[in-house]
Structure 1
Amino acid sequence: MNAVGRPPKLEGAPLPRIALALGDPAGIGPEIALKAALDPRVRAACRPLLVGDRRALDYHARACGIDVPVLTVRSACEVPEGEGVVLLDLDGFGEQPLAPGEVRAAHGRAAVEAAAVAVRAALEGAVEAVAACPQTEFAIKAAGIAFDGYPTFVARCTDTPEEDAFLMLCFDDKRIVHTTLHVGLRQAIDLITEERVLRVLEATRAVLVKLGVATPQIAVSGLNPHASEHGMFGNEEATIIEPAMERARARGILCEGPFGADTMFQKAGYDAFVVMVHDQGHLAAKLLATNRTAGMTIGTPVLFSSVAHGSALEIAGMNKASPEAVVEALLRLAGAATRARAEAAA
């Protein structure tokens, strides 16, 4: 399979089932979920199950002029074949009215609940993977819910230690894994330890193998400018990153570096790039693949992917949002799920 192409299909086997949480109902989430679920590439690769509030989906369908049958189910085990889309309907915001484009606590609760229900469906075996549309963190905060991104959220939902969950951004043939994510830069530097770098390298190799890369080659960034130029601009490379890489190599992980993060992505021959802090990876992804990057949570027992862009409240209900990042996420998950099936059957 290429970066976002059709995954291999087991002869005679049904397509993988993937839950797709609608995200913030007041943003573009339901719009891009619906568009992605109807995309021919997605329908050839998997059976998506939308998860969220029917009222939000209906609003965005009308706003986009999409007239398609929506079959509502009450259990993730019910994903029938046929035309249209299937929705696991949740009472996402109770008696609160939907307020497109606005930040409200009810919207934040609805986004988190949809993602949690989707993850639970994966843990129960009703679906084989989970994708999530964008949330609005201010709305989640207004709801009083602790949330600092999907990797730690999925970790909590699956009883995985939060320090073992990482984010991998995916676009085209690029995969960028973050050692630290949504914390202040000073705190991020404190979090970068030899053990954490080793864990992210182990998680990266494991997910690459799951995605079909037999012998993953991993490039690793430094923390400091130019990877410190042999200690001229700091010593974290020599005291933390390089020792972690040596231990990783002793475990059979093929990794090279540390490289300067400003030039690393130009290097060919690597299946993934591991960076130390948020902006080292996100800047590259958002410059090279604007609004079409998928974010995969790795290190947890659930295959989970989200989009690397926001909920775009300012264009909600305007039929302006592209579903490409969701399509990318679904196709990658479908490929991984199909390979997992093949390995289990071997």
Structure 2
Amino acid sequence: MRQLARRHTAGAAAVNEVPARRVVAVTLGDPAGVGPEIALKAAADPRVKERCRIVLFGDRRALDVHAQRCGMSIDCRTLSSVSEIAGCSDELAIVHVDSLGEGLELGVVAARYGAATVAALDAAVQAAMDGHVDAVVGAPIHEVAIKEAGIAFDGHPSYLARRTNTPIDEVVLMLCWDTMRIAHVTVHLSTRDAIDMITRERVQKVIRSTARALRRLGYARPRIGVSGVNPHAGESGLFGTEEIERIVPAIEACRGEDIELIGPIGADTLLPRGDCDAFIVMLHDQGHVPAKLMARHGAAALSIGTPVLFSSVGHGTAMDIAGQNKASPEAMVQALMQVTHMHSRGAIQ
């Protein structure tokens, strides 16, 4: 752990530098979950207020319901158009996305809440594409509610790829907390389909995207550990040949690009290493399981590779505690810290 602390000293210091205050759109997420609550709490956090100005995106009625249920007093200006954002100073504001209809029942999965979730996302991402905000942070969504609304959605990275006309294989999900960074080669696919997506070309793109993101966090020559996909990284072909045929050639192709690469390493021994600035994993659970064990509810989920700087939180809607003032905003605070710092160093593409 001492080695890990030494290795990350420069990067951690860079993340904690105070950049010029940015304007960040924060969506309310699924209105029946904890999204509105953690958005309000994060907006009031002194660390966030020092770094950026928050503009919420979603149905104002959801915000008011959560504030009332949680016993929170709010002073929030309602905007009818994104063009009004420039006229706001330090006051909290919300771009009202009229999508909820009448009534809101917390803790319930419903199609209309899924539709409201995506409507807020659409508005916030469009505001970023049009230059009204510098970045977007999304509160938790419920994919079943979105599916019930008849909307195709398989995660924020692919959603952003479609919205920004970016090839899907150019977009990478990176989980971040403290000084830990875990980029994913595949995310929301069946394991059978994910194996097919782990190609030499895809792994190369993830390595390069991860290196660019790390440079914007202050790592001049990133050192990245790359996992295998099979047990013990295939054990020289004994447990599978994906490492030999796909991952090793991708690593070799990226050597000499001012990136230090280690691997492939067995996923079970990857994260305890203390000599890497970030890790790349092949499968969803190789990154998400340790993130939820180590960061609990404090991980941010950056989507890198699109023109829009975007992060979501690394946890779900927590329907069981919605409206009870029990939800921690730490993951959203971390997401806001990450995007504001990265924006200060240039867009991640």
TM-score for both structures, normalised by structure 2: 0.93
Aligned equivalents of 1:115 and 1:16: distance in 2? 19
Question: How far 1:6 sits from its partner (Å)?
Answer: 4.2
Counterpart secondary structure, 1:311? coil
Residue number in structure 2 paired with 1:49: 55
Residue number in structure 2 paired with 1:28: 34
Q: Contact 1:26–1:98 at 8 Å: present in 2 too? A: yes
Map 1:1-346 onto structure 2 (within 5 A).
2=12, 6-10=16-20, 15-79=21-85, 80-83=88-91, 85-93=92-100, 95-340=101-346
Aligned equivalents of 1:250 and 1:269: distance in 2? 19
Change (3 A) 1:6 1:44: farther
Aligned equivalents of 1:114 and 1:96: distance in 2? 17
Aligned equivalents of 2:23 and 2:307: distance in 1? 16
Aligned equivalents of 2:81 and 2:255: distance in 1? 45
**Aligned AA (1:43):** K
Q: Contact 2:134–2:309 at 8 Å: present in 1 too? A: yes
Aligned equivalents of 2:346 and 2:30: distance in 1? 30
Q: Once the two structures are superposed, what CA deviation does each residue of 1:132-165 show, in whole Å capped at 9, x if it has no partner?
A: 0000011000000000100000111111011211
Counterpart secondary structure, 1:340? coil
Aligned equivalents of 1:4 and 1:41: distance in 2? 15
Question: How far 1:255 sits from its partner (Å)?
Answer: 1.3
Q: Contact 1:4–1:332 at 8 Å: present in 2 too? A: no
Aligned equivalents of 1:136 and 1:323: distance in 2? 18
**Aligned AA (1:35):** K
Question: How far 1:339 sits from its partner (Å)?
Answer: 2.4
Question: How far 1:2 sits from its partner (Å)?
Answer: 2.9
Q: Contact 1:4–1:328 at 8 Å: present in 2 too? A: no
Counterpart secondary structure, 2:263? strand
User: What's the RMSD between the two structures over aligned residues?
Assistant: 1.5
Aligned equivalents of 1:117 and 1:124: distance in 2? 10
Counterpart secondary structure, 1:2? helix
TM-score for both structures, normalised by structure 1: 0.93
Aligned equivalents of 1:9 and 1:149: distance in 2? 29
Q: Contact 1:6–1:45 at 8 Å: present in 2 too? A: no
Residue number in structure 2 paired with 1:344: none
Counterpart secondary structure, 2:98? coil
Q: Once the two structures are superposed, what CA deviation does each residue of 1:106-156 show, in whole Å capped at 9, x if it has no partner?
A: 100111111111111111111111100000011000000000100000111
Question: How far 1:3 sits from its partner (Å)?
Answer: 7.5
**Aligned AA (2:130):** E
**Aligned AA (1:157):** R
Unaligned runs of 5+ residues in structure 2 are 1-10
Aligned equivalents of 2:16 and 2:48: distance in 1? 8
**Aligned AA (1:91):** D
Question: How far 1:251 sits from its partner (Å)?
Answer: 3.7
Question: How far 1:233 sits from its partner (Å)?
Answer: 1.1
Change (3 A) 1:252 1:4: closer
Report % sequence identity: 50
Question: How far 1:216 sits from its partner (Å)?
Answer: 1.1
Counterpart secondary structure, 1:100? coil
